Amino acid sequence: MVRHRWCELVIKHKYEPGYRDIERFLREDQAMGVYLYGELMVNEDAKQQELARKCFAAAQEHMDPSSAKVVAEMLF
């Protein structure tokens, strides 16, 4: 998916203007978003980690319980 790849590139290059696209992707494509949460956390970039936690807080109640558990373990 092109949007997913775009988000990967935004994360890799720490392209802050693209962070809104990540937020939108994590809201709209929760099943594919699990991988992106991991990418946001692995770089150990404070802004990206904050973005991941913010998106998860907004989306977790709408997520599949098993996906929410996996993401929570990555974030906390």
Q: Give the domain ranges of the chain.
A: 2-75
Cα–Cα distance between 73 and 20 in angstroms, integer? 23
What are 4-36's pLDDT values in tens digits? 999 999 999 999 999 999 999 998 887 788 899
In a 13 Å sphere around the CA of 62, the CA atoms on its Cβ side amount to 12
Burial class (CB in 10 A: 0-12, 13-18, 19+), 23: middle
Cα–Cα distance between 74 and 17 in angstroms, integer? 24
Name the pTM for this structure: 0.88
